[in-house]
């Protein structure tokens, strides 16, 4: 086989098919892209929520720490340490209610 | 800019803005070439898997696509890198058999003698030699374009094409 014959054979055998697009394959890619988009949106929403809730928690924690330093509050907490737990439970309840409301609104 | 490339550039811009219809048109235009290229490297089943992954990666990275490149060569480069990564994973898992070599051995379809021999000859090539030969002699890319797709220096690419042809010629003699 000479060079010319080999070149012809290669270009015929290795040329991409000229047939129309494979609808099944195109559909599969479309589905994969749609799935990827859904995941991307979910991840972005999750990260947004994580950041906002972390900031809110830090703000509330800071406020509590600040209030606890007020002499009258500090004295009350020393006499009744259960107040701290009551405050935390109340805070958790408010957070759960707010979250539920946000989810309902969303 | 040739009309085909111009159309791709417009579709790319639209797809980068989130237009899935535009991306669908890009998939319809380029899937045959990409799957044919990957099919020569990895066999048809794996080729479809890699091609789908390549399109997904293209969708995710459209914003980074520079229009001075052709979309088709950019896509082909993504497919090639996915194939190389797959081979690397396969090697690390200890599976060294080449899917295309297996394919040639399993070849049952009645083909013309020289075509069947050529398939066997191709299966004996190193993947990079096969890729260079398919791109340059089958898909009509220039050596420069194929070197960019395969991320090889131009001289190395030309050497791979020359070696691949030499091996095929020897096998088919």
**Cα(B165)–Cα(B152) distance, rounded to whole angstroms?**
18
Question: Whole-model pTM?
Answer: 0.77
Instruction: State phi, psi for B126 to the nearest 5 degrees.
Output: -65, 145
Using CB atoms, pick whichever of A3, A13, A32 lies closest to residue B56.
A32
For range A74-91, the mean pLDDT = 85
Using CB atoms, pick whichever of B23, B40, B48 lies closest to residue A14.
B40
Whether the Cβ atoms of residue A60 and residue A91 lie closer than 8 Å to each other? yes
For range A6-31, the mean pLDDT = 91
pLDDT tens for residues A41-81? 999 999 998 998 899 889 988 988 888 888 888 888 888 88
Chain A environment of B140 (Cβ under 8 Å): 15
Tokens of residue B93, six digits: 């898992």
- Do residue A17 and residue B51 have CB atoms under 8 angstroms apart? no
Global ipTM: 0.80
């Amino acid at each position: 086989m000479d060079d010319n014959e080999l070149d012809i054979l290669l270009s015929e055998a290795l040329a991409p098919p000229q047939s129309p697009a494979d609808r099944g394959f195109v559909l599969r890619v479309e589905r994969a892209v749609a799935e990827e988009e859904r995941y991307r949106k979910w991840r972005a929403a999750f990260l947004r929520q994580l950041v906002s809730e972390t900031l809110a928690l830090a703000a509330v924690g800071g406020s509590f720490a600040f209030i606890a330093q007020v002499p009258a509050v500090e004295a009350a907490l020393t006499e009744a340490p259960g107040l701290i737990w009551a405050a935390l439970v109340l805070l958790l309840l408010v957070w759960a209610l707010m979250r539920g409301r946000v989810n309902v609104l969303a | 800019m040739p009309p085909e490339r111009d159309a791709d550039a417009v579709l790319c811009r639209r797809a980068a803005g989130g237009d899935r219809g535009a991306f669908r048109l890009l998939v319809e235009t380029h899937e045959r070439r990409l799957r044919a290229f990957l099919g020569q490297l990895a066999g048809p089943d794996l080729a479809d898997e890699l091609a789908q992954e390549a399109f997904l990666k293209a969708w995710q990275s459209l914003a980074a696509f520079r229009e001075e490149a052709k979309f088709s060569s950019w896509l082909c480069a993504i497919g090639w890198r996915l194939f190389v990564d797959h081979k690397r994973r396969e090697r690390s898992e200890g599976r060294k058999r080449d899917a295309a070599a297996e394919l040639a051995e399993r070849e049952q379809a009645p083909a013309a003698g020289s075509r069947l021999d050529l398939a066997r000859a191709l299966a004996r090539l190193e993947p990079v030699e096969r890729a260079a030969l398919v791109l340059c002699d089958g898909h009509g890319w220039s050596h420069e374009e194929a070197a960019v797709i395969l991320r090889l220096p131009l001289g190395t690419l030309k050497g791979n094409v020359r070696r691949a042809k030499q091996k095929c010629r020897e096998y088919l003699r």
